[in-house]
A and B are shown apart, each in its own frame.
Chain A
């Protein structure tokens, strides 16, 4: 069991390290001087005083040899110090942690809407044997998966805000402002949960143990919900962990469309303004979040499924 946990944590740390290294290499391989890149914001052809360039280079430590920059940055990451923003001089980790609660709230409500809807759609699709109805419900997750978040957000806003005027198009005060963004971000959650659960339940339905349950005279609902659904949930938990990354990616779009602050939004601002230390910091924090979500699921498996617990022994 300890070996299992240790291995999972080791993989997690490795992924974070690799993402740090990849970002570092990319930045130094791409054409253009990073300091000049950061100072030439926007389309205006600003003349930059060479003295200012030099000052900026020193302040951000880009005048040091590459391997010093690499390891210094790496030790910083280990200490939780992600450096300072090139634009504002503020601490990168401070900026990110200020933005996180808003994104977490949004992601929480997206899961709150998305998970029950996804499960319900899957159960109905498998439970009901009328082909027309079953096919309709089987189509919902696929439809959700094929709709780009960006488009959904604008569509939801167009109808619920601009046409029906039920909800404000922007703002963060009051629960009304959370409805449309959470609905939009729930779309990929419904897609993943529904698709995985339908597939998993279909497979489980063919397992021999269902015949036993049938033979004991159980109703269809009892077979599907009490037995098949319970056994089908393991892959769904994996899928939910995978949605952690799609929630972060979706936040970039949803927070921009609905004008909310959060991790997605500071990502966009940092990229548009070429704030390299900030972008690096966000990549690392996003990687850590995704790794943690996956680690959590990996650690949950043995608790949920006795077979996995047994496989890894004591």
Chain B
């Protein structure tokens, strides 16, 4: 069974790599397809989305696919420049931070209005953050961003100070996320269960919600008079498109068919193996590697304390083979402990080379001998580890990892588990290796997953270990340069001491017809339709 599965993927991969070789695919925010000459205005873009959101309110529901929609009608205080990875002004013209990074003063633009006519003021900043706090468990991501929030002080109409009871070095990064986007008072005064169903979702963005039909579609129309686009955009003023119709098509083959038959102009969530076929037939394929922690098997340092053993396991994983066979060569390669779009990323690919001979040499130096089962053995024991991954979505990937480890004589026992069981075993330390990944722009995500003090302790570190102290300490380091040095050191240890057995980077794949121009991702992994033109 398994062999035939592998063969099927191999045949597919060979065919695909031939296609990929012939056509270039644009990738990432650094390479948006920019149109030339007079901009083409008008037209309604039809987009298929893969996710059926359980809730349409962006402050409550943090699912990435929903935020590809929310970003179009909700503006934020700040935005990241995808080229420089610098924080840029948006609704906030400028900001100051106090010395211990617990108070953030925002100076707001005075020319912004919501689509219902409300003027955007400091009141809105206060009301939005207060709302997220009162949402509590209904806004898991938002509450996380506002951990330690005390209050927002309104200095004058266009100045607000956001106060925390502790240093919050990652808060500024969070203000760029549409989960902390700014709603009008009318939305904030609506009951959260009604906004979830799509009622009264009013923002100040370049598009306005015109109709939401649960499980079916979300229609947006252009906001007349929009004039506060951030400078990171390719143009100013109103959006080029008249509107966007998002259709919720959860079934993969329906999205593919709708795109091929011209019933939609673009589709999100196209599997990598299909994407290569689209490239070959003249469609544009946009990929974006989500920021945050790449997909990996995080090692329980109590279960596998021998750093050389962990390094040998790291050497046994052939990441290029995974990229080609499981992901059709569409995904970027994994090059470090965090994804390249994450703030503070350093390239550690030198430590991620595939070296099966090196791995075998280490096992043999430790007295392991190749047994009749094809695995290394010592004192009648097989060299064997368990791994847990979120099933069923990742089965093919981890079966591949299992095969790769088997090639060097290590047995990996796979367990497909439910996400909540993963959360539990991460906390309790009942694992050898556990699949982990998380999308986040700020490297503080390392703390929430791995800190033994204020996180899930996903590596089972001791609080007084060097790594444990670095991970926890960076969150309170108010000197930005010093913090970045700590972040670099953490990445080095995570990869060099092989705490994270890295496999691949979670990548979004979007496909559009050649008539759609100017579609790009922002650094928060959301699509931006503001610069999009629909040509004939």
Q: Which residues of A contact B (CB under 8 A)?
A: 31-33, 36-37, 39-49, 52-53, 55-56, 59, 84-85, 87-91, 98, 154, 157-158, 161-163, 165, 168-172, 255-262, 265-266, 268-270, 272-275
- Is B266 in the interface zone, CB < 8 Å from A? no
**Interface stretch among B153-161, B202-210, B254-262, B358-366?**
B254-262
Show 21 residue pairs from A and B whose CB-CB distance is below 8 angstroms, ordered by the A residue.
A31-B421, A33-B420, A33-B424, A37-B419, A39-B420, A43-B393, A45-B293, A46-B448, A48-B423, A88-B54, A88-B55, A88-B192, A98-B214, A169-B257, A170-B216, A170-B249, A257-B251, A261-B216, A265-B215, A268-B250, A269-B215
Q: A32-B424, A154-B253 are in contact. Are A53 and B137 (CB under 8 A)?
A: yes
Q: Which residues of B contact A (CB under 8 A)?
A: 52, 54-55, 60, 63, 136-138, 140-141, 143-144, 147, 192-194, 196-197, 213-217, 247-251, 253-254, 257-258, 260-261, 263, 293, 390, 393-394, 418-424, 426, 436-439, 448-449, 455-456, 458
Measured CB to CB, the closest approach of chain A to B69, in angstroms, equals: 15
**Bound-complex Cα distance A159 to B258 (A):** 12
When C-beta atoms are compared, the residue in chain A nearest to B458 turns out to be A45
Q: Are the C-beta atoms of B193 and A259 separated by less than 8 Å? A: no
Q: A43-B437, A269-B52 are in contact. Are A56 and B137 (CB under 8 A)?
A: yes
Q: A88-B193, A171-B247, A259-B248 are in contact. Are A36 and B257 (CB under 8 A)?
A: no
Q: A44-B437, A169-B258, A256-B251 are in contact. Are A265 and B52 (CB under 8 A)?
A: yes
Q: Are the C-beta atoms of B249 and A259 separated by less than 8 Å? A: yes
Q: Which residues of B contact A274 (CB under 8 A)?
A: 420
Q: Which residues of B contact A45 (CB under 8 A)?
A: 293, 419, 422-423, 426, 436-438, 449, 456, 458
Measured CB to CB, the closest approach of chain B to A191, in angstroms, equals: 23
**Bound-complex Cα distance A269 to B423 (A):** 21
Q: Which of A59, A87, A255 is close to B54, meaning CB atoms less than 8 Å apart? A: A87
**Bound-complex Cα distance A262 to B249 (A):** 14
Measured CB to CB, the closest approach of chain B to A160, in angstroms, equals: 11
Q: A31-B421, A43-B390 are in contact. Are A172 and B140 (CB under 8 A)?
A: no
Q: Are the C-beta atoms of A268 and B140 separated by less than 8 Å? A: no
Q: Which of B196, B393, B437 is close to A88, meaning CB atoms less than 8 Å apart? A: B196
Q: Are the C-beta atoms of A47 and B137 separated by less than 8 Å? A: no
Known: A45-B436, A45-B458, A88-B60; 9 extra A-B contacts, CB below 8 A, are A32-B424, A33-B420, A44-B439, A45-B437, A89-B193, A90-B194, A154-B253, A265-B52, A269-B215
**Bound-complex Cα distance A167 to B419 (A):** 39
Q: Are the C-beta atoms of B261 and A162 separated by less than 8 Å? A: yes
Q: Which residues of A contact B439 (CB under 8 A)?
A: 44
Q: Are the C-beta atoms of B263 and A256 separated by less than 8 Å? A: no
